[in-house]
Structure 1
Amino acid sequence: MQLSKAHTFLLLTFLVAMWGVNWPLSKYALEFATPLLFAGLRITIGGFILLLFALPRYKYINLKDTWHIYLISALLNIILFFGFQTFGLNMMPAGLFSTIVFMQPVLLGIGAWLWLGESMNGFKIVGLILGFIGVAVISITDGSSNISILGILLGLASTITWTFGTIYMKKTSTKVDAIWLTTLQMIFGGIVLLVAGTTVENWTDIIWNQQFISTLSIIAVFCTALTWLVFFLLVRSGEAGKIGSFNFLVPLIAIVISVFFLGETITTKMVVGLVLIILGIGLVNLKMKSLQKHSNMHRG
């Protein structure tokens, strides 16, 4: 199905906006819930919503031959990615943390060059260098309570697992149905996170008030399930490559919302680091837009 330019723009705007608001919303939700149980709830709910759209495609599931792909993808893209992400987000400002995680396009460019045979170029190299310098600047300790070295490491771990998960999905994309892969990895990964959370956390620690329930619902429905449906609609229409060029906006949206609605502060050192990271992401995506229009995959 070919989308009009207006429809493509609207879908991309929705996708990037939801990825951006996801970070401050998740940060807010963690005031009422423990990390693993929250991550498990949002992913499991999102997975079962996607199941409604996957069931009509039951002929494409092929679990007998591809079950291992679903499991490995769930481990990388859900269990480790959201596990690291949720714990790290609890330790750092949402806008700053999202910027570190969204260095993923930079690392993906390197990984795609090493393992997928995609081209390496000056834009990617400069982007990688700027990105890592930015993280180094942010990591310099000055007694600021806003910066957690462990949080930065968890952000980088989240980025690395997302990178390997995306590369693995690319390498196996011809063997599995994309919607079934996303649905099952969410359901399986979400249940694993819930079991882990039940083991080491307490359900009684969750404050089931209106604020938490409404925030969890928005995150699960809009920032998880619907963003993936929009992503696949763009993929099918041949517009997936444009997502990469919009990725640098996600941390900016997260930062603006976090500053105005969560009262987070930005120091000079953080601004310098953020600018370097966002420039790095922008340079990588600038080239990826033209070179990888039909093959690039990213998510929030």
Structure 2
Amino acid sequence: MPQLTRTRAAVYLAFLVIIWGINWPLSKYALLYTPPLLFAGVRTLIGGVILVLVCLPRYKLLRLKQTWHTYLISSVLNIILYYGLQTVGLNYLPAGLFSALVFFQPVLLGLGSWLWLGESMFGMKMLGLVLGFLGVAAISSGGFTGPISTIGIWLAIGSAVSWALGTLYMKKTTGQVDALWVVALQILIGGLVLTGTGSAFESWSDIHWSLPFVVCLLFISIFVIALGWLVFFKLVGSGEASKVGSFTFLIPLISISCSVLFLGEKITLTLVAGLILILLSIVLVNSKPKALRSKKKLHTA
């Protein structure tokens, strides 16, 4: 996949962290009108259908017989397990603790990128990933109150692991499948499975199809699911996965900031501390030690 220019990468990153950041309070609002599994399924299914319609003119690039397993594995890791474990797990843990555990993903992604993708790893980068996780834990600490469930902890960790493995798998298979089709089909497959699971365990009659819910559902389906995942994998495919992962630490920060602005929640010392840790994390992960910079200059000379 071709490299993005710095300007375009910055625009994509800004779009991604803002859209995925506001997704959390929007989803919390939408759950007032719908059961969780059906909501997870319907929003994903709509996003998948939209992307498939966009991809139809590229049908010759689908090559389903040769690459069906790539679409299926990507869907299981990035959509079915990630959203499924997340939706169920929120019933067992406070939201703050759960989100903090899920955003251990960039640390796992950094380690996996080093071990399996051959990306560079150095002390400051590892420190940056750990600081980012601590920053997320700090800003999420207000939601740590409540009963702690071992099942919930494992579901949160499972969600983080599946997202990390799915991202690594997508990076590893870049170039083997069409970039648009692999995102569209994994979301469509995941949406069908989650909707089917929701239909089996929940009731469609419990959904209140009010105008606020429909607007919220369509916004999440189009921008958070369809465009969000497309941009995320575009960034991962064109650069270092660990560097992209470091910026996702900003997502919980934006989520809580939106809650402060629109839901009347208060700015706390832990929020400020988390912001400082996350910003420091991004600087450390995206910086290169002198040895690596010198090595790069020798290769380009």
TM-score range, shorter chain: 0.7 to 0.9
Letter in 2 for 1:219: I
Q: Deviations over 1:171-230 (max 9, x none)?
A: 222221121011011111100001111111111121221221111111001111123444
Q: Shift in Å at residue 40 of structure 1?
A: 0.5
Letter in 2 for 1:75: V
Q: How does 1:229-268 map to 2 (within 5 A)?
A: 229-231=230-232, 243-244=244-245, 246-264=247-265
CA distance in 1, matches of 2:43, 2:85: 15
| SS of equivalent to 1:73 | helix
TM-score scaled by length of structure 2? 0.78
Partner of 1:156 in structure 2? 157
Letter in 1 for 2:42: L
Going from structure 1 to structure 2, the CA distance change for 1:9 and 1:108 (only over 3 Å counts) comes to closer
Partner of 2:297 in structure 1? none
CA distance in 1, matches of 2:240, 2:144: 42
Letter in 2 for 1:33: T
CA distance in 1, matches of 2:146, 2:12: 38
Going from structure 1 to structure 2, the CA distance change for 1:240 and 1:21 (only over 3 Å counts) comes to farther
User: 2:106·2:246 contact (CA, 8 Å) conserved in 1?
Assistant: no
Going from structure 1 to structure 2, the CA distance change for 1:172 and 1:11 (only over 3 Å counts) comes to closer
Q: Shift in Å at residue 233 of structure 1?
A: 6.5
User: 1:8·1:234 contact (CA, 8 Å) conserved in 2?
Assistant: yes
CA distance in 2, matches of 1:140, 1:255: 11
**How well do the aligned residues superpose, as a CA RMSD in angstroms?**
3.8
Partner of 2:203 in structure 1? 202
- Counterpart check, 1:21 vs 2:17: no
Partner of 1:60 in structure 2? 61
Q: How does 1:209-228 map to 2 (within 5 A)?
A: 209-228=210-229
CA distance in 2, matches of 1:68, 1:115: 20
Q: How does 1:89-168 map to 2 (within 5 A)?
A: 89=90, 92-93=94-95, 97-130=98-131, 144-145=145-146, 151-168=152-169
CA distance in 1, matches of 2:144, 2:188: 41
CA distance in 1, matches of 2:255, 2:143: 24
Q: Determine what percentage of the aligned residue pairs are the same residue.
A: 53
Going from structure 1 to structure 2, the CA distance change for 1:142 and 1:8 (only over 3 Å counts) comes to closer
Number of equivalences: 287
CA distance in 2, matches of 1:140, 1:48: 37
User: 1:40·1:194 contact (CA, 8 Å) conserved in 2?
Assistant: yes
Q: Shift in Å at residue 262 of structure 1?
A: 3.4
User: 2:236·2:244 contact (CA, 8 Å) conserved in 1?
Assistant: no
TM-score scaled by length of structure 1? 0.78
| SS of equivalent to 2:286 | helix
User: 2:139·2:253 contact (CA, 8 Å) conserved in 1?
Assistant: no
Q: Deviations over 1:134-191 (max 9, x none)?
A: 6888999999339777555433322111000011112222221121011011111100
Shifted more, 108-117 versus 141-150: the winner is 141-150
- Counterpart check, 1:33 vs 2:34: yes
Letter in 2 for 1:278: I
Shifted more, 43-52 versus 84-93: the winner is 84-93
User: 2:103·2:133 contact (CA, 8 Å) conserved in 1?
Assistant: no
Partner of 2:282 in structure 1? 282
Query: Which residues of structure 1 form unaligned runs of 5+?
Result: 292-300
